Structures are given as structure tokens and as C-alpha cells.
Amino acid sequence: MFAFILRRAGQSVIAVIGLLVLVFFLSRLTGDPAYLYLPLDSSEAQRQAFSEAHGFNDPLVVQFGRYLVDLARFDFGDALSRNRPAMEVALEAFPQTLKLAAIAIVLSLCLAVVVGSLAAARPGSLFDKLATTASLAGASAPDFWVAIVAILVFSVGLGLLPTSGTGTALHWIMPIFVLTLRPFGLLVQVVRGTMMSALASPYVKTARAKGVNRSRIVFRHALRNSLLPVITVAGDLAASLVNGAVVVETIFGWPGIGKLMIDAIVRRDFALIQATVLVTAIAIFVLNIAIDLVYARLDPRIRFETR
């Protein structure tokens, strides 16, 4: 298993380097930062001096070489817009996103497994119809709309919850609710589908012939088999949340990495763009390896190629 992780990490390093190259050059296509950071009436000479000071005048290849050398020394440059090391800023925002994403995905996964399994156990029942309708609504509702409506109802109308920011436990409720809704809706549908096919499988027939009761068949025999596709979808959803739920973070004024990334792009803060991309990329690669490990844990037929 260790060899497997090592190999996956090796592959990931190659992919991360490719990504950084891409981000480095693409971000420099957005324009000259000098126009944003100096006053509108600054002279050409002042802009030249600014660019010279930050190294933007060198050929791109030279800038890239310098970036790589700095990277090798774990120097990620300074965030122009904040006058602080870029990585420090990124690492400050990332936990905020991570906490939100982790809570949302675990919550939606747990709820979806229970609701989806029960719906699949009695297809066509009232509970199944309710679950299917609710999950479809959850999966289709646009998150920005749900977020705004939630603010209108609970903050503006009822005055129960704060509109934005962090601090108290109350601040967490609405962002988590909005972020949980869509994954929950999607996952219920996946769980229901895979659980129905698992329940129709021959080994379930064997279990019934053995005299195993219904709930044990659903939650012991069928569940573990039907979780594999669910984990795939959940992993995908988790990756998009870790990436920063840009819209939701913006609406609720949540100081996460998604909001930071958008700010950095708008401010042409190249070092900060690169730092945020690097952090989220590493997080997603770690997530993917974790998913592979969960897979192998669930299904003994999956073996790491370590020989």
C-alpha cells in the first residue's frame, strides 16, 4: 500500500507541475498589474519602475525560471495585493473552505445513504416518492438562488441567522445547508439506483435463502456493494467543494479559498493565484488518493499494484 501511495504521489507531482506551468502563463495573459496597482495618473516611468521592481519586465521564460527556483526553496512569492507572503494568505483561507466542504460532504453522504437505501428497499412506496422528489429538487436548485432566498427568509425576514461572515456557530448554518443540498440530492439518486441493483443481485437471494432479515440485507449485504459508485460521485462533489465554493463563499462573505482565488485573479495578483491553485491542487490529489484507499477498503477485489 505504501508503494501505491508513493507511486500515486509521483504521478501527482507531474500533474501539479503541468498545472503550475499552465497557470503561470495563462495568468500573465490577463494584463499588466502596473495599471491596477499604481494610481490612474501614474507616468510611464513610474509603471516601468514598478514592473522592474517586481520583475515583470523580464522575458516570460526568465520569470518562469525564477519562479521555479523560488518554488524549489518553498518561496511562493509575495501577494501584491496584501503585501504578505502569498502562501501565508492562501493557507489562512484554505482551512475555512476545508471545514465547510468536509462538513457538507459528510453530512450529505450520511443523509443520502440512509434516505437512498430506505427508498430503494421499498421502491414505489410513499417514502420512495417523497425522497425521489426531494432529491431531484435539491439536485436541481441553483445554489446562489437558494442562498439568497435563505438569507431573505432567515436573516432579513425572521432575523434568526446572520447574513454573512464567520464567528458564531449560527454563521455556519446557512452556508452548510446550501452546500449540502445539491450533493445530497445527487447522492440520494445514486444511492437509490445502485442499491436497487444490489438488492436484485444473486448474493441477496442467497442471503434471503439463509434467513437473513431485511434490514441486515439492505445495510450489511447490499450497502457495501452499492457504495463504490457512490464514493466516486461523492469524491467528485468533494473535489468541487474543496476547490472553493466560489458563489456561496461570495454570497455569505466566507473568507475561503474560492473567494480568495477570484479576488487574486481580479487583482492580477500572480503570486497569489499560483499559491491558491497549488494549495487546492495538492488538496484534490490527496483527496483522490484517499478515495482510492476507501475503494480498496470497501472492495477486496481491488488490489494495489505493488508487486
Partner 1 sequence: MTGTHLLEVKDLTVDFLSLGGSFRATNGVSFHVDAGETLVILGESGSGKSVSASAIMGLIDTPPGDICAGSVAYRGRDLSSLSEGERRDLNGRKIAMIFQDPLSHLNPVYTIGWQMEEVFSVHGVASGGVARQRAIDILRRVGIPEPEKRIDQYPHQFSGGQRQRIMIGMAIALRPEILIADEPTTALDVSVQAQILELLKKLQAEDGLAIIMITHDLEVAANMADRVIVMKSGRIVEEGEARAVFENPAHTYTRTLINALPHGDHEAPPKRGRPAGKPILEVRNIDKFYTLSSGFFAKPARLHAVKKLSFDVAAGETIGIVGESGSGKSTVARVLLGLNEASGGEALFHGRDILKMDRKELLAFRRKVQMVFQDPYSSMNPRMTVLDIVSEPWRIHKDILEKPRWRDRVTELLGLVGLNPEHAARYPHQFSGGQRQRIAIARALACDPELVVCDEAVSALDVSVQVQVIGLLAELRDRLGLAYIFITHDLPIVRHFADRIIVMKSGEIVEHATTEEIFRSPQHAYTRQLINATPKPKWQTAADAA
Cβ at position 306, least distance to partner 1 in Å: 7
Is 213 an interacting residue with respect to partner 1 (CB under 8 A)?
A: yes
Cβ at position 307, least distance to partner 1 in Å: 5
Q: Which residues fall within 8 angstroms of residue 148, CB to CB, at 6 or more apart? A: 251
CA atoms within 13 A on the CB side of 239: 16
Angle between the N-to-C axes of helices 126-140 and 86-121, in degrees from 0 to 180, rounded to the nearest 10? 160
CB–CB of 86/77 below 8 Å? yes
Which residues on neighbouring strands pair with residue 79, listed in sequence order? 84
CB nearer partner 1, residue 182 or residue 221: 221
Is 201 an interacting residue with respect to partner 1 (CB under 8 A)?
A: yes
List the grid coordinates of 217: 440485507
Is 207 an interacting residue with respect to partner 1 (CB under 8 A)?
A: yes
Cβ at position 221, least distance to partner 1 in Å: 6
| Span near partner 1 by CB under 8 A; candidates 158-166, 181-189, 213-221, 267-275 | 213-221
Is 209 an interacting residue with respect to partner 1 (CB under 8 A)?
A: yes
CB nearer partner 1, residue 56 or residue 219: 219
List the grid coordinates of 2: 505504501
CB–CB of 256/244 below 8 Å? yes
CB nearer partner 1, residue 89 or residue 113: 113
Site for partner 1 in 33-72 (CB under 8 A): none
CB nearer partner 1, residue 84 or residue 216: 216
Q: Is 78 helix (H, G, I), strand (E, B) or coil?
A: strand
From residue 238 to residue 257, the character string flagging contacts with partner 1 as x (rule: CB under 8 A) and all else as - is: --------------------
| Span near partner 1 by CB under 8 A; candidates 73-81, 125-133, 160-168, 209-217 | 209-217
Is 196 an interacting residue with respect to partner 1 (CB under 8 A)?
A: no
User: Vertex 111, ends 105 and 113: CA angle to 5°?
Assistant: 95
From residue 151 to residue 190, the character string flagging contacts with partner 1 as x (rule: CB under 8 A) and all else as - is: ----------------------------------------
A 10 A CB-CB count for 11 gives 12
Is 298 an interacting residue with respect to partner 1 (CB under 8 A)?
A: yes
Quick one: how many helices (H) and strands (E) in the chain?
Answer: 14, 2
Is 216 an interacting residue with respect to partner 1 (CB under 8 A)?
A: yes
User: Vertex 181, ends 128 and 137: CA angle to 5°?
Assistant: 50
CA atoms within 13 A on the CB side of 306: 9
Q: Which residues fall within 8 angstroms of residue 107, CB to CB, at 6 or more apart? A: 176, 180, 184
Cβ at position 285, least distance to partner 1 in Å: 17
Q: Which listed residue (7, 66, 122, 129) binds partner 1 by CB under 8 A?
A: 7
How far CA 220 is from CA of 200, 203, 227, 250, 294, in Å, comes to 15, 12, 11, 41, 17
CB–CB of 103/176 below 8 Å? yes
Q: Which listed residue (114, 141, 212, 296) binds partner 1 by CB under 8 A?
A: 212
CB nearer partner 1, residue 84 or residue 224: 224
Is 122 an interacting residue with respect to partner 1 (CB under 8 A)?
A: no
List the grid coordinates of 203: 448474493
Is 111 an interacting residue with respect to partner 1 (CB under 8 A)?
A: no
Task: Give me the residues that bind partner 1 (CB under 8 A), please.
Answer: 7, 201-203, 205-214, 216, 221, 224-225, 298-301, 305-307
